[in-house]
C-alpha cells in the first residue's frame, strides 16, 4: 500500500527511497519515520492508505524549516505573496476531482451530500477561500501626520504558525488556517487529524510546487504529535479547530512561551422556531441545518427549540424527511448522508442515544447504528427532552438532534443562552426583522435568521464563551495572524 509522505522543507519525508521518496536522512539529518498510520475509509471500516507517524525529530525539523524560511517569506512583497496564493487556488482547482475523491474516501462525506453539502462543496470552498483571502488587504494605518509627528500602525507577521486541524472538514479547515497565515507573511507547520491526512497532504504537495521550501510544512501523526507541535518553543501561534477539551490543553501548553491562539472549538448551537413559520416550508431547511455532514460540523444546529403550537406538526415533517434521506457510501452520487467519520465518534453518538433513552426521550426515528460494515448511524430525532438532559446540554457531533418544546420567547432565549458553548444560533420566523432582534440576544459569535450554518470568506466567524477564542475569515480573521507595530516618526 502506498505511503503518502509528509513534506518538510519542501521535501517528501517519511517513506523509504524505494517508493521514489527522498529520505530525510540525506537532506536534514533526521531519520525517516519507520512507523506508519493507516487511513480508514469510514464507509467500509478498512484501511486504504498509509501515512508516516512523525517522531519528535520530525516536529523539530518541520519547525526549524519554517523558522529558516520565515525571514525571506516575511520580506517577500505583498503582491508577490498574493500572486503565489492565487496560484495555489488555481492548482487546487486544476486538481478538484482528485481532491474530492480523497476528501470523500477519508472523511466519508458524500460527493454531493444533503443540501449540496459534500466533498464537492468542500473543495469548491477551499478554492474560493484561497482566492478571497489572497486578495485581502493589509494596509498601513496612519493615526497622525502633522507638524509634530507621523504615527503609523503596521501589521507584521508573527513567525511560525502551527495549524492543527480536525477530521470533519479536513481540506477546508486546513485552507482556513494556512492561507491567511501565509498571506500575512508567516510560515506554517500543519498537522492534520490522523483520521484524515490525505487531502491535506495533497494540498501541501501542490502548494509546495509553488511556494519556497519551508514556507508550508506538513507532518502527520496522532494527537501526541499535535501536542509536541503546539507546545514547541519555536512556534509563535497556534490555530486550532477541534474539541473544547483539546483547545483547553493547547491553551495551557501555550502559556510558557505566550503563544498567540485562535481556537475554533465545539458548539451546541440552538435554533429557535417561532410560531408564525410555514412549517412545511421551513422543515427541509431545519433538517439540513441539523443533519448536513451527519451533524459533524461545529456550526450544525444541535438544539432545536420549537414553539408548542407547531411542535408536533414540525416533528412530523422532520421525521418524514429523515425517513426519506439517503444514507450510504459517499462514493454513490445519490448518497445524502455518509458514515460517521470514525469508530470513536460512532461510539460517542451511540452513547448520546443511550443517554436520551435513559432520560425518557421519545425517538421519532433512528436511534441505532446500522448493521454491516462502516460507521453508519441512523438519522435520529428525539423529542420529550428538556434542558438538563445530556443530549440537549452537550454536543453529540453526529446525526442525532433533540427537538424541544417551548412556550415563551423570552424564556427560550434564556434557555438557549444557558450553555457553556457560544458558537452560533438562529431564529426562524415569517417576520425577519423581529427574528433579527431576537437573534441579537443570543450569546453566540454568529447569529442567523431563517438559516443556520452559512459562512462566507469575507465575514468573521468564531465562537464566544467556551466555543473558542478569536475569529477566522475576512479582514478580522487575517489580522489574527499579525502583530501590531506602531511607528512614530518625530518631525
| Site for ligand NDP, rule CB under 6 A | 164-166, 168, 193-195, 222-223, 226-227, 230, 241-243, 246, 249-250, 264-266, 298, 345, 348, 395, 397
Torsion sign (Cα): 9, 12, 15, 18: negative
Nearer to ligand NDP, 168 or 294 (CB): 168
Task: Kindly state the smallest distance separating residue 249's Cβ from ligand NDP, in Å.
Answer: 5
The minimum distance between CB 222 and ligand NDP, in angstroms, equals: 5
Shortest Cβ distance from residue 242 to ligand NDP (Å)? 3
Please give the Cα distance from 321 to 270 (Å, whole number): 20
Which one, of 375, 275, 284, 355, lies nearest residue 321 by Cα? 284
The answer to whether the beta carbons of residues 50 and 35 sit under 8 Å apart is no
Nearest to 201 by CA among 76, 71, 21, 74: 21
Q: Quick one: which of 193, 198, 200, 201 has its CA closest to 226?
A: 193
Q: Smallest distance from the beta carbon of 299 to ligand NDP, in angstroms?
A: 8
Q: How far is the CB of 383 from ligand NDP (least distance, A)?
A: 22
Output the CA angle 345-414-462, nearest 5 degrees: 50
Read off the DSSP letter of residue 442. Answer: S
Q: Which residues of 459-470 are buried (b: 16+ CB within 10 A; e: fewer)?
A: ebbbbebbbbbb
Please indicate whether residue 264 is annotated as part of the active site.
yes
Closer residue to ligand NDP in complex, CB, 130/165:
165
Phi and psi, residue 432, nearest 5°: -60, -30
Whether 354 is a known active-site residue: answer: no
The values of phi and psi at residue 167, to 5°, are -100, -5
Q: Which is nearer to ligand NDP, 242 or 366 (CB)?
A: 242
- Give the Cα separation of 412 and 414 in Å (integer): 5
Q: Which of 11, 122, 290, 298 is catalytic?
A: 298
Among the options 106, 122, 194, 264, which is catalytic?
264
Nearer to ligand NDP, 273 or 298 (CB): 298
Measuring CA to CA, which residue among 234, 261, 212, 195 is closest to residue 74? 212
Closer Cβ to ligand NDP, 345 or 419, answer by number: 345
Task: Return the active site residues.
Answer: 264, 298
Amino acid at each position: 500500500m502506498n505511503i503518502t509522505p509528509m513534506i518538510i522543507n519542501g521535501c517528501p519525508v517519511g517513506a523509504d527511497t524505494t517508493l521514489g521518496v527522498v529520505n530525510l536522512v540525506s537532506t536534514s539529518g533526521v531519520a525517516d519515520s519507520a512507523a506508519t498510520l493507516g487511513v480508514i475509509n469510514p464507509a467500509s471500516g478498512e484501511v486504504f492508505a498509509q501515512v508516516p507517524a512523525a517522531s519528535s525529530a520530525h516536529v523539530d525539523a518541520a519547525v526549524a524549516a519554517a523558522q529558516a524560511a520565515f525571514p525571506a517569506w516575511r520580506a517577500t512583497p505583498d503582491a508577490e505573496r498574493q500572486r503565489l496564493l492565487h496560484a495555489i487556488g488555481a492548482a487546487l482547482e486544476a486538481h478538484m476531482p482528485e481532491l474530492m475523491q480523497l476528501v470523500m474516501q477519508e472523511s466519508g462525506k458524500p460527493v454531493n451530500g444533503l443540501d449540496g453539502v459534500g466533498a464537492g462543496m468542500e473543495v469548491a470552498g477551499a478554492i474560493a477561500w484561497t482566492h478571497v483571502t489572497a486578495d485581502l488587504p493589509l494596509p498601513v494605518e496612519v493615526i497622525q501626520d502633522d507638524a509634530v509627528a507621523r504615527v503609523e500602525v503596521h501589521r507584521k507577521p508573527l513567525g511560525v504558525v502551527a495549524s492543527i486541524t480536525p477530521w470533519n472538514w479536513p481540506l477546508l479547515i486546513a485552507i482556513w488556517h494556512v492561507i491567511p497565515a501565509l498571506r500575512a507573511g508567516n510560515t506554517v507547520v500543519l498537522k492534520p487529524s490522523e483520521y484524515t491526512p490525505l487531502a491535506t497532504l495533497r494540498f501541501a504537495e501542490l502548494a509546495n510546487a509553488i511556494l519556497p521550501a519551508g514556507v508550508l510544512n506538513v507532518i502527520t501523526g496522532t494527537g501526541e504529535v499535535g501536542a509536541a507541535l503546539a507546545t514547541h518553543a519555536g512556534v509563535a501561534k497556534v490555530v486550532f479547530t477541534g474539541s473544547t477539551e483539546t483547545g483547553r490543553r493547547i491553551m495551557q501548553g501555550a502559556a510558557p512561551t505566550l503563544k498567540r491562539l485562535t481556537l475554533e472549538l465545539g458548539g451546541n448551537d440552538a435554533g429557535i422556531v417561532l410560531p408564525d413559520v410555514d412549517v412545511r416550508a421551513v422543515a427541509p431547511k431545519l433538517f439540513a441545518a441539523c443533519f448536513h455532514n451527519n451533524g459533524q460540523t461545529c456550526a450544525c444546529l444541535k438544539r432545536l427549540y420549537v414553539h408548542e403550537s407547531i411542535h408536533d406538526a414540525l416533528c412530523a415533517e422532520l421525521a418524514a424527511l429523515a425517513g426519506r434521506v439517503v444514507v450510504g457510501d459517499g462514493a454513490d452520487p445519490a448518497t445524502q448522508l455518509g458514515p460517521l467519520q470514525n469508530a470513536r465518534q460512532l461510539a460517542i453518538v451511540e452513547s448520546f442515544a443511550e443517554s436520551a433513552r435513559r432520560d425518557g426521550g421519545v425517538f421519532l426515528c433512528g436511534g441505532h447504528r446500522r448493521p454491516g460494515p462502516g460507521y453508519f448511524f441512523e438519522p435520529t430525532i428525539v423529542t420529550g427532552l428538556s434542558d438538563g438532559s445530556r443530549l440537549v446540554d452537550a454536543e453529540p457531533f453526529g446525526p442525532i438532534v433533540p427537538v424541544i418544546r417551548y412556550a415563551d420567547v423570552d424564556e427560550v432565549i434564556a434557555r438557549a443562552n444557558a450553555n457553556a458553548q457560544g458558537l452560533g444560533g438562529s431564529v426562524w420566523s415569517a417576520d425577519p426583522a423581529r427574528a433579527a432582534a431576537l437573534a441579537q440576544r443570543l450569546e453566540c459569535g454568529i447569529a442567523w435568521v431563517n438559516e443556520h450554518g452559512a459562512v462566507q470568506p469575507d465575514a468573521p466567524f468564531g465562537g464566544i464563551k467556551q466555543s473558542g477564542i478569536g475569529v477566522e475569515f475576512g479582514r478580522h480573521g487575517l489580522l489574527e495572524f499579525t502583530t501590531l507595530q506602531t511607528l512614530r516618526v518625530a518631525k
